[in-house]
């Protein structure tokens, strides 16, 4: 089923380069064509039937933003700490690889966000996010104001450290740290969660997947637009950030049962507690 395999690794993760070599050699033993790339430098064009991600959740986020528009599934291997989205450790991968290459397993489709940054009426950037789009106060310890509209209707002006617009996948990331709820990762809903609100609306609002969320930051210093915690764009006064559900999905190849999320959620959260 899978003939051309991409292996993307996070070089900052210990032993990631080593495991990339091991996996490539194993694939070569099956007579398959495989390439290896640093997560910061994926090949262009990205040609693969399957991408094996070696790292942690951050590696998956980076891979998903380039793989989703092409419909390429991702098999995520945990070499990091928490690994909320990962499927295997490297030893389990080597054990299950023959079955997965034959087409066993199933694909979990997770909705993503499309974000547009508009300045003076012109589009500056179009961005894709699996976890979240955040308007942040940046490094200056002063509140910002984020005027927020949903489907053209004024919602509120948040006052605080910023606002998180998250997917269901992102509900277990930054939004969870900001006291947001946990959603099943295949739900199409969008969360709007304030960060450390000060005398302003302080609850997460869940809106349907078809909603269009528009935000404008007002501050006496430079705020930032942050995508999946990895892309940071400085915002200017009057910039407008629009977030909607993307037509693309992150397609994660799974071996676990389809109800894995419920059985693994508390275990993963307790794992996070043990690292603190």
Where in the sequence is the domain holding 49, given as residue range(s)? 4-105+255-275
Q: Is the pLDDT of residue 81 over 80?
A: no
Cα distance between residue 248 and residue 64, in whole Å: 10
Cα distance between residue 6 and residue 45, in whole Å: 12
pLDDT of residue 274: 45
Percent of the chain topping pLDDT 70: 98
Q: Which of 57, 189, 228, 239 is flagged as catalytic?
A: 57
Looking at residue 84, which CATH number applies to its domain? 3.40.50.10330
How do residues 130-172 score in pLDDT, each as one tens digit? 999 999 999 999 999 999 999 999 999 999 999 999 999 999 9
Q: Are 134 and 226 in contact (CB under 8 A)?
A: yes
CA 66 to chain centre: 11
Global pTM reads 0.94
Is residue 100 classed as helix, strand or coil in its secondary structure?
Answer: helix
Residues 138, 212, single domain; the answer is yes
Cα distance between residue 74 and residue 49, in whole Å: 9
Instruction: Report residue 34 as tokens.
Output: 């495989």
Q: Which residue has the tokens 């693309």?
A: 248
How do residues 11-29 score in pLDDT, each as one tens digit? 999 899 999 999 999 999 9
Residues 140, 196, single domain; the answer is yes
Residues 127, 55, single domain; the answer is no
Q: Which residue has the tokens 């292996």?
A: 7
Number of domains the chain is built from: 2
- Can 132 be counted among the known catalytic residues? no
Query: Confidence class of residue 264 from pLDDT cuts 50, 70 and 90?
Result: confident
Residues 88, 138, single domain; the answer is no
Nearest to 60 by CA among 81, 76, 43, 40: 76
Residues 180, 86, single domain; the answer is no
Residues 132, 172, single domain; the answer is yes
Show Cβ contacts of residue 276 under 8 Å, excluding neighbours closer than 6 positions.
Answer: none
Residues 223, 174, single domain; the answer is yes
Q: Are 105 and 254 in contact (CB under 8 A)?
A: yes
């Amino acid at each position: 089923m899978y003939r051309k395999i991409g292996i993307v690794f996070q070089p900052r993760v210990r032993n990631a380069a080593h495991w990339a070599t091991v996996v490539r050699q194993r694939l070569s033993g099956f007579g398959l064509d495989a390439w290896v790339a640093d997560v910061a430098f994926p090949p262009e064009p990205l040609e693969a039937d399957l991408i094996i991600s070696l790292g942690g959740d951050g590696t998956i986020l980076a891979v998903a933003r380039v793989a989703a528009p092409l419909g390429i599934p991702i098999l995520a291997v945990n070499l990091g700490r928490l690994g909320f989205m990962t499927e295997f450790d490297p030893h389990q991968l080597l054990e299950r690889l023959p079955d997965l290459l034959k087409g066993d397993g199933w694909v979990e489709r997770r909705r993503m966000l499309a974000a547009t940054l508009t300045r003076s009426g012109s589009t500056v950037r179009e961005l894709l996010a699996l976890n979240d789009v955040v308007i942040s106060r940046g490094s200056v310890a002063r509140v910002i104001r984020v005027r927020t509209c949903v489907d053209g209707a004024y919602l509120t002006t948040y006052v605080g450290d910023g606002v998180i617009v998250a997917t269901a996948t992102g509900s277990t990331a930054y939004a969870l740290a900001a006291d947001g709820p946990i959603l099943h990762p295949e739900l199409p809903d969008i969360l709007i969660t304030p960060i450390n609100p000060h005398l302003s609306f302080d609850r997460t609002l869940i809106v349907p997947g078809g909603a269009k969320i528009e935000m404008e930051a007002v501050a006496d210093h430079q705020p930032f637009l942050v995508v999946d915690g990895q892309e940071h764009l400085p915002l200017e006064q009057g910039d407008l950030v629009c977030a909607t559900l993307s037509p693309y999905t992150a397609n994660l190849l799974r071996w676990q049962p389809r109800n894995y999320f419920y059985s693994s959620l508390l275990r993963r959260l307790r794992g996070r507690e043990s690292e603190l």
